[in-house]
Amino acid sequence: MNLSTLVRTSLPHLPPLHSTHSTRDNVTENVAIEARNVNFSVNTRQGKIFPILKDCSIRIPSGQLWMLLGPNGCGKSTLLKILAGLLTPTSGNLFVRRPKSYVFQNPDHQVVMPTVEADVAFGLGRSNLTNAEVRSRVLKALDAVGMSEYLQRPVQTLSGGQKQRVAIAGALAEACKVLLLDELTTFLDESDQIGVIKSVQNLLDISGDVTALWVTHRLEELEYADGAVYMEDGKVVMHGDAASMSKFIKAKQSSYISHINS
């Protein structure tokens, strides 16, 4: 199911993008997601302003899978919700290609219809599509996430990972071009984690123009990404290709271990 898509500010004149390398041959160098100097603050009970995001800027090419990483409380889920239109930034500019969809960390907050087919078709209820066209979209979306054989399966019989894939299929059925994925593997076992990640990879490969931004704290998931953004204390610390990001994070971990052992 797709949430209403809200773009706060459009950026019509984007400078040329120097994209990181992708294995997908048909990826173009168009920007799918951009945030410039985004700030977000909340008011405390004491009447003070508490900053959560501080001048965050990211730029993600169309057709790629990027990870948004960082320690707990660094602001990565807040930034994702701002990109989804669920929160309004205090200041800054945003561009997110539409239509877009936000997929929740807990699939039970999103997958609510009695059967897989009904849930994936839910967001198409107000469209002008015929029943045959709706069913065709549902089948294609489920096939893209490896769930076509579950069409008539009751949702309550699915595992957590299967529910996440159904939620992603719902966004795909609505022809969403940007997927904003909030820690999808947090509550999943290892096999379901891999299944969800590979489903996202597969649908990006099939579509060629769908972009995914995946919030995670699992470093091992970085190997599946084209690029990544690393955050600390409400700030974007690094933004680049997956290999460089992996080296950067491992160096930080090594430095921290050396520090506490000294």
In this predicted model, what pLDDT tens digit does every residue of 1-39 receive, in sequence order? 333 322 222 323 333 333 333 444 444 458 999 999 999
> Which residue in this structure is represented by tokens 């949430």?
3
Q: Model confidence over 46-69: pLDDT tens digits?
A: 889 999 999 999 999 999 999 999
Give the containing element (helix H, strand E) for 173. helix 160-173
The torsion angles phi and psi of 64, rounded to 5 degrees, stand at: -120, 160
SS3 state of residue 92 = strand
Domain extents for the chain? Answer: 31-107+176-261
Give the global pTM.
0.78
Are residues 4 and 85 in contact, defined by beta-carbon separation less than 8 angstroms? Answer: yes
SS3 state of residue 138 = helix
Cis peptide before 61 (omega within 30 of 0): no
Mean pLDDT of 75-83: 96
When pLDDT is cut at 50, 70 and 90, the band that residue 258 belongs to is: low
Q: Model confidence over 123-147: pLDDT tens digits?
A: 888 778 899 999 999 999 998 888 9
Residue 176 has pLDDT above 50, yes or no: yes
> What percent of the chain is modeled with pLDDT above 90?
50
Helix segments in 8-94, DSSP class H: 76-84
Give domain 31-107+176-261's CATH superfamily: P-loop containing nucleotide triphosphate hydrolases (3.40.50.300)
Q: Model confidence over 192-245: pLDDT tens digits?
A: 888 888 888 888 888 888 999 999 888 888 888 999 999 999 999 999 998 899
